[in-house]
Amino acid sequence: MSDSRLALAVGLNLFLTFAEVAAALISGSLSLLADALHNFSDCASLVVAWIARRISRRGADSQYTFGYKRAEVIGATINLTALIVLGGYLLIEAFMRIFSPSEVQGGIVMWVSAIAIVVDVGTALALMTMAKGNLNIRAAFLHNITDAISSVVVLLGGAAILFYDWNWVDPVLTVVIAAYILRQSIPMLQKAINVLMDGVDSSTDISVVHSSLENLPSILRIYHLHIRQIDESTLSLEARIVIHPDQIQNLEAIKASVKHTLLHSFHISHSTLEFEINAPNSLPPSEESNQTNCGYPISSHNQ
């Protein structure tokens, strides 16, 4: 069902793109051409989203042991980068048109933008339920939402040109559309890049995770703690855990306690834990010459 929705959205946006390009050439409207280019990027974004979605469904194999879920994050990165480039291009074109204004046929702009609103809203509704919890589809959904808003703006601009002969409105509205595209796209691109760079989501404080684990019973210290995002919704953690020799018989219970804390307090469902036995007042061999690990600084309490 979701794939058929994507296919329908591609068809609608492709039809709208050709209609808007033709109308923009006839009317001389830059804002309508901007909307057409945005719709064409929608088609490309939906195709990329569909391909990435198909790839992400593959299971793990010997080459990609975590699976292919990041394909959707890559798809989102491609789409958002294209949106930002498009926004920059429209800003340049709009400022050039401000200094070299041309006549625009407002009636044609109004009719075509009205049709565009219907198509954009219909496409956005088709993608709305799929966009929840999926950065890839949300990027495509954002394309259509910004299209619907820009089409409304273009419609109002066409009315201003038709009834008041305000041709200057066309490039000004193009600047507004481009600024909105950039405002919405840049934060989402930063989030996608953060996942690809194995960064930690801003909602996860690694120092809090570290201290919460060290405060669990029977744990002397935690070191070599690393957290990464496998995809938008899945966090992975690895850590070395030092316990007292007297607690070796409770190892499974300690492990279960750590995993329970990670899952229910921090929503970390994938963890790799290495346990070590050490005297309470000694450092692990790997820390004797260096009080920091390769990623996160070691806490000195409980030592």
Task: Give 95-150 as a DSSP string.
Answer: HHHHHS-----HHHHHHHHHHHHHHHHHHHHHHHHHHTT-HHHHHHHHHHHHHHHH
Residue 226, pLDDT > 60, answer: yes
Q: According to the CATH classification, is domain 206-287 in 3.30.70.1350? A: yes
How high is the pLDDT of residue 66?
78
> What is the Cα–Cα distance from 116 to 39, expressed in whole angstroms?
9
CA–CA gap between residue 20 and residue 32 (Å, rounded): 7
pLDDT band at 63 (very low <50, low <70, confident <90, very high): confident
CA angle 100, 104, 105 (to 5 degrees): 170
303 vs 278, more confident: 278
**Residue 2's pLDDT band (boundaries 50, 70, 90)?**
low
Pairing type for strands 219-229 and 235-243 reads antiparallel
Among 99-113, 158-172, 285-299, the range with the most confident prediction by mean pLDDT is 158-172
Per-residue model confidence as pLDDT tens digits over 90-149:
788 778 777 776 666 777 778 877 887 887 777 777 777 666 666 667 776 776 777 777
Q: Which two tokens stand for residue 115?
A: 């049709």
pTM: 0.65
Q: Where do the domains of the chain lie?
A: 2-196, 206-287
Query: In Å, what is the CA distance from 101 to each residue of 66, 93, 154?
Result: 54, 11, 17
pLDDT on residue 238: 93
Q: What gap in Å lies between CA 223 and CA 114, rounded to an integer? A: 60
pLDDT: is 291 or 2 the higher one? 2
Q: Which CATH architecture has domain 2-196?
A: Up-down Bundle (1.20)
